[in-house]
Amino acid sequence: MLSLGIFGWIIIGGLAGWIGSKIMKTDEQMGILLNILVGVIGGLIGGFILGAFLDVEGGGLIFSFFTCLFGSIVLLFLVKLVTARR
């Protein structure tokens, strides 16, 4: 999964962060840089969570995208959970 390179992470992270923000209805508050950041951090979170159950390194490009998407949704859910209490 790390063999994608920095540009692969940015592209996959950006797409996953953007789609995740659309699903979680936070897209109006986020720009492209925050979408990329959420997607890349979401990839780390998703890889950590799914790594306990599946072989995430051998999954390929599409599985990497869905791992980033899953992680970005989890990250955005947690952020909404924390910020809603303020």
| CA neighbours closer than 13 Å in the CB half-sphere of residue 44 | 7
pLDDT at residue number 1: 43
For residue 86, give every residue at least 6 positions away whose Cβ sits within 8 Å of its Cβ, in sequence order, or none.
Answer: none
Whole-number pLDDT of residue 74: 92
The answer to whether residues 43 and 66 touch, using CB atoms and an 8 Å cutoff, is no
What does pTM read for this prediction? 0.82
Look at residue 73 in the predicted model and tell me its pLDDT.
92
- Mean pLDDT by runs of 10 across the 86 residues of the chain is 68 88 84 85 86 78 86 91 79
20: which 2 tokens? 């995740």
